[in-house]
Amino acid sequence: MSDISESQHPVLKVAVNVPLSREFDYLPPSGGPVPAPGCRVLVQFGPRRQVGLVLAHADTSELPRAKLRRCLEVLDDNPLLGDNDLVLLRFTSNYYHHPIGEVVAAALPALLRQGKPLHPVVQTIAVTDPGASTDVEALARKAPRQAELLETVCDAGGGGLEAEQLTELLPNWRRVARSLFENGLIRQLEVRSAEFDETLAPAATPGPELNADQRKALEVLRSDIEVGAFLLEGVTGSGKTEVYLQRMQDIVDQGQQVLVLVPEIGLTPQLVARFRKRLGMEPALLHSGLTDIERLGAWRAARSGAARLVVGTRSAIFTPLKRPGLIVVDEEHDHSFKQQEGLRYSARDLAIVRAKQLGIQVVLGTATPTLEMLHHCRRGAYALIRLPKRAGDARPPSIRLIDTARAPANDGLSEPLVAAIRKHLEAGGQALLFLNRRGFAPTLVCSSCGYVAGCDRCDSRLTVHARQGQLRCHHCGATRPLTDSCGECGATVRPLGEGTERLEDALREHFPERTITRIDSDSTQRKGAMADALDQAREGQAEILVGTQMLSKGHHFPKLSLVGVVNADQGLFGTDFRSSERMAQSIIQVAGRAGRALLAGEVLIQTAFPDHAFWSTLIDGGYERLADDALAERKATHWPPYTRLALLRAAAHQRVDAMRFLEIAQQSLQPHCGETLRVLGPVDAPMARKAGRHRVQLLLQSSDRPTLHTVLRQLRLLLEQHPAARKVRWSIDVDPIELF
Ligand code: ADP
Ligand code: ZN
C-alpha cells in the first residue's frame, strides 16, 4: 500500500469470477488504500458484489477515468499471491483459453474465494469447569444425546473442538447443544484458526542405501545440467520414491520448499507416512478430503514457508510457495492430473511451466510415461533418467495370458485363474484381481425379448448394483430399482457380464474360507474406508483383493504375489487414439503390484484375443516397445504428440442448438484452415446424449502450437459474445485426454 494523492491513483486490473475473458478496471477506494497486485478487493459488479483479485496496476483504462468505479473495499493488507503466482495464473488463462477470473477462483481456497480473511476466526466449542465435573452417566440416563455431545467436547480438552470437526463427528450436535449452553456446561469460543506445526512429525529415519541405478539418477538431478524437467522412468518398485526423497532432502536442507503432486487416490496415508517418517517433517496436505479451514491452513503454511514440504493433488499446483526449490510429479501418466470440467488444465503440464518460470527442477516419475513425455525427452526438451530394475531383491513379475475362448470365464473366473489363486494362497501369498468395472454387471437384458435396460437421459446402459438392489447410470447418476422381470414383456431379466461385485461373489463361492476385500469407489464411500481397506491389504489380512484401478496405483502390498487381470479386452478395440496407451499403462501398473517384496510375482491376463499383436509386444518388449510402436503410429497418422489438439464441446437440450453453435464456430475457423490447421466436425460426441443434453464437438488439430492458440483466442472472444451461446453449455479443452 502506498500514500499517493487521488489523481495519481493507478487503475486496478481486476480478475472477477465471471465467464468473460477479460480483466475489469476499477479505482482504489476513495481515500485509499491502494491494493497491490495479488490483493483481493470487493467490487460492485453489475447488481452483485464480488470478490476480485488485483492482477496489475495500469496508468490508463479504455474507459474515461470518470466512468471507472471504485473498489468497495480492500480485503488484504499484503498480497496473497506473488508476482510469480500471478504469472502462472495468467499463463493458465491464456493457454487453456479460460477466463482469468475463473482461473483465479479455481486457484484460491474456497474461504479466500468467498472473501474471508487469510486468518479466519473459527468457532470452537469447549467444555466449561462445571461441564467438566458433571456426572456424564447421570446425564446419559436423562438425555443421552446431550451426554454424548458433552463427552465428545470433554475429550477434546480445554482448547475445544472446531465446530466443523464437531459436525463431522456428530452431524446434528447443534440441536442438542442448546441446553448444554444454557446450563453453562459448554461454551463457544472464537479463536484464530490453528497454525501449521511442522514439528509434529517424528525424527527423520534413514532409508535404504541406494543401489547403483538410483545413485546415478540422483547424481543427474544433483548435477546442474541445463534442462529443468526430468522424466524419471523406472519400472514399478524400482525405487523412484527413494530417489525423490533424497533429492527432496537436499532441497529442504538448502532451506527451500518442495511441492509434490500426486494422483487423487495416490495421496494415501501410506505415502504421507513415508514422507513424514523419512524426512522427519510434517507435510502440508492439500486434497479434496479436507474441510475448508484445513485447506486454508495448509495453503497458508505453503505460502508463508512454514511448511517445507507441500503434498497435494492437482489443484495444489497453484499454491503459492515462499521459497520454491523443487516440484515432484508422482505417477505423471495418471489422468487425475487433468481436470475434466470447468478449467480443463493439466497440473502435470503446469508443473513443468511453473518450474521453468521459477528456474527450479521438476521431476516427473512413472513406470509408464505418457507418449507426450517420451516424445519431449527424445527431442531433448526434457532429460530422461531410467531405473531399469526393481530395487532390493524383488524380481520382475512374469506375465502369462489365459485364452478365455478355450478356458471360459464363469462370472469372470477361468479355471486356470482359480487354480493359480489357490496355489498362491497356499504358498502364503496374496492375490489381487483387477476389473475396471464396478457394480454387479454392466448390463441387464431380457432373456425373452432382448430388451436392454438403458438410461432415459443418456445413451448408455444401466449397471446392475445388486447389493443396493438398483440399476445405476454411471454417467449421470440416475438410479432405478432393480426388478426381476422385463419392463417390456414381463419375462425374466438377467445380468450380463461382470463387475467387481459379481466377481467378489464368485470368489466367495470358490474360496469360502478366505478373507476377500473389494476396493472400488462404491466400497470406499465412507470416510476412512479406503485407508482401512488398504491397511488390511498391506498387513495381509485380506487374502484376496478385488478392485478397480483404485487398487492399481502406487500401493505396496508386501505379500501380494498374484495379479489377475479379469477382462483386458475392453481396451484392445477402443475408439480413442489413446486406448492402447491407456490399457498398457493400467496393465503394467497393476502388474507392478505383484511380487514387490520377497515372493515372486505372477501376472495372469484373461483375454479372448490372445493373438492380438498388443499382447506379444507387451510380453516380449514391455512398455517401452509398446510406446515405440504407438509413437510410430501417431506420427504416421498425425496424432499427438506430433500434432496439437483442442476440442470445442457444446451441449444443449435441443441437438439443433448445439449443432448450430458449432457451425458458427466452424465457419469462423474456415479461413484459417490449411496446412497447419484442420477442423473436424461438428459431429455428435461418442456418447451423444448425457444427462438429458445432446452433446456435439468440433476437433481442432494443428501442427503448429502458435497457430492453434491464435485461432482459439479469436474463437473464444467470438463465442463469448455470440447470442447462440445462450442456449448451450460450451467449453474449450486444450490438449484433451479424452475425445468425448
Ligand atoms: P517406486 O517408487 O519406483 O515404486 P519405491 O521407492 O516405492 O519404488 O521402492 C519400492 C520398494 O523397494 C520399497 O519398499 C522401498 O523401500 C524398497 N527400496 C527402494 N530402494 C531400495 C534400495 N536401494 N535398497 C533396498 N530396498 C529399496
Ligand atoms: Zn444417465
Cα(59) to centroid of ligand 1, in Å?
A: 57
Instruction: State residue 161's pLDDT score.
Output: 83
As a whole-number percent, the residues of the chain with pLDDT over 70 amount to: 97
Ligand 1 and 283: CB distance under 6 A: no
Minimum-distance ligand to the CA of 391? 1
Q: State the Cα–Cα distance between residues 81 and 58, nearest whole angstrom.
A: 18
* Model pTM score: 0.91
Residue 100 has pLDDT above 90, yes or no: yes
Q: How is domain 198-387 classified at the CATH fold level?
A: Rossmann fold (3.40.50)
Mean pLDDT, rounded, of the chain = 91
Written as one string, the DSSP assignment of 676-738 is SEEEEEEEEEEEEEETTEEEEEEEEEES-HHHHHHHHHHHHHHHHH-GGGGG-EEEEEES-SS
pLDDT by residue (tens digit) across 284-314?
A: 999 988 888 889 999 999 999 999 999 999 9
pLDDT of 159 reads 73
Cβ of residue 239 lying under 6 Å from some atom of ligand 1: yes
The predicted-structure confidence for 348-375, as pLDDT tens digits, reads as follows 999 999 999 999 999 999 999 999 999 9
Instruction: Out of 233, 236, 241, give the residue to mutate to test ligand 1, the one with the largest number of ligand atoms within 8 Å of its CB.
Output: 241
- Residue 394 backbone dihedrals phi, psi, to 5 degrees: -65, 140
Q: Is the CB of 266 under 6 A from ligand 1?
A: no
pLDDT at residue 537, rounded to an integer: 84
What's 96's DSSP letter? H
For residue 366 and ligand 1, the question of a CB distance below 6 A is answered with no
Over range 658-686, report the average pLDDT.
95
Query: Ligand 2 centroid vs 548 CA: distance in angstroms?
Result: 21
What is the atom index within ligand 1 of the atom nearest the CA of 554? 4
Cβ of 234 below 6 Å from ligand 1? yes
Calculate what percentage of the chain has a pLDDT beyond 90.
Answer: 68
**Dihedral sign for Cα atoms in the order 464, 468, 473, 474:** negative
CATH 3.40.50.300 assigned to 398-441+497-627: yes
Average pLDDT over residues 177-190: 87
Residue-level pLDDT at 6: 55
The CA distance from 667 to 310, in Å, is 47
Instruction: Please give the distance, rounded to the nearest whole angstrom, from the Cα atom of residue 612 to the centre of ligand 1.
Output: 34
Rounded to the nearest angstrom, the distance between the alpha carbon of 689 and the centre of ligand 2 is 9
For the CA of 476, the nearest ligand: 2
Could you identify the atom of ligand 1 that is nearest to the CA of residue 238?
A: 3
Q: Domain coordinates of the chain in residue numbers?
A: 6-113, 121-192, 198-387, 398-441+497-627, 644-734
Q: Which ligand is nearest to the CA of 463?
A: 2
Is the confidence at residue 557, as pLDDT, over 80?
Answer: yes
Q: Which of 43-47, 141-145, 369-373, 511-515 has the lowest mean pLDDT?
A: 141-145
Q: How far apart are CA 699 and CA 693, in angstroms?
A: 19
Cα(473) to centroid(ligand 2), Å: 5
**Confidence check: pLDDT of 603 > 90:** yes
pLDDT of residue 261: 97
Q: Find the mean pLDDT for residues 156-178.
A: 82
The pLDDT of residue 23: 95
CATH code of the domain occupying 6-113: 3.40.1440.60
pLDDT score for 5? 54
Give residue 722's identity as a one-letter amino acid code.
Answer: H
The band of 598, judged by pLDDT with boundaries at 50, 70 and 90, is low
Q: At CA 590, angle to CA 274 and CA 686, rounded to 5?
A: 120
Query: How sure is the predictor about 341, in pLDDT bands with cuts at 50, 70 and 90?
Result: very high
- Give the strand pairing for 516-519 and 544-547: parallel
Kindly report, residue by residue over 645-671, the tens digit of the pLDDT: 999 999 999 999 999 999 999 999 999
pLDDT at 3: 45
Per-residue pLDDT tens over the stretch 8-26? 789 999 999 999 999 999 9
526 band by pLDDT with thresholds 50, 70 and 90: confident
Closest CA to 33 of 2, 61, 75: 2
240 lines ligand 1 (CB under 6 A): yes
238 C-beta closer than 6 A to ligand 1: yes
Of 211, 242, 245, 333, best ligand 1 pocket probe by most atoms within 8 Å of the beta carbon: 242
Tell me if 361 CB under 6 Å of ligand 1: no
What's the confidence (pLDDT) of residue 165? 80
- Check if 523 has its Cβ closer than 6 Å to any atom of ligand 1: no
Nearest ligand, CA of residue 214? Answer: 1
The response to whether residue 237 sits with its C-beta less than 6 Å from ligand 1 reads yes
Three-state SS annotation for 77-133: CCCCCCHHHHHHHHHHHHHHCCCHHHHHHHHCCHHHHCCCCCCCEEEEEEECHHHHC
- Compare 490 and 733 and report the one with higher pLDDT: 733
Quote the CA–CA distance of 143 and 669 in Å, as a whole number.
71
Query: Which pLDDT value is given to residue 139?
Result: 87
* pLDDT on residue 597: 65
Q: Would you say residue 394 has pLDDT above 90? A: no
Ligand 1 centroid distance, CA of 617 (Å)? 27
Average pLDDT of span 213-226? 88
pLDDT in tens, 308-333: 999 999 999 999 999 999 999 999 99
**Coil, strand or helix at 61:** coil
Per-state percent for the chain, helix, strand, coil, to nearest 5: 35, 25, 40
End-to-end CA distance of the chain: 48
Q: How far is the CA of 732 from the centre of ligand 2 (A)?
A: 23
pLDDT tier for residue 740 given thresholds of 50, 70 and 90: low
Please report where in the chains the cell 442438542 appears, as a residue. 176
Q: What is the pLDDT of residue 1?
A: 43
- Find the ligand nearest to 459 CA: 2
Query: How do residues 237-255 score in pLDDT, each as one tens digit?
Result: 899 999 999 999 999 999 9
pLDDT of residue 177: 87
At 2, the pLDDT band (50, 70, 90 cuts) reads very low
Q: What's the one-letter identity of residue 68?
A: L
For 692-722, write each residue's pLDDT tens digit: 999 999 999 999 999 999 999 999 999 999 9
The ligand 1 atom nearest the CA atom of 207: 16
Confidence class for position 525, pLDDT limits 50, 70, 90: confident
Ligand 1 center–CA 531 separation, angstroms: 21
Of 193-197, 336-340, 534-538, least confident by mean pLDDT is: 193-197
Answer yes or no: is pLDDT of 554 > 80: no
3-state secondary structure of 675: coil
- Does the domain at 644-734 match CATH 3.30.70.360? Answer given as yes
User: Residue 131: its pLDDT value, please?
Assistant: 87
Distance 241 CA to ligand 1 centre (A): 7
Ligand whose nearest atom lies closest to the CA of 693: 2
**Residues 616-648: pLDDT tens digits?**
999 999 899 999 999 999 999 999 999 999 999
pLDDT (mean) for 487-509: 93
User: What integer pLDDT is reported at residue 439 of this predicted model?
Assistant: 94
Determine the pLDDT at residue 390: 86
Q: 6-113 and 398-441+497-627: same fold? A: no
* 496 beta partners: 443
Residue of minimum CA distance from atom 8 in ligand 1: 239
Give pLDDT, residue 209. 94
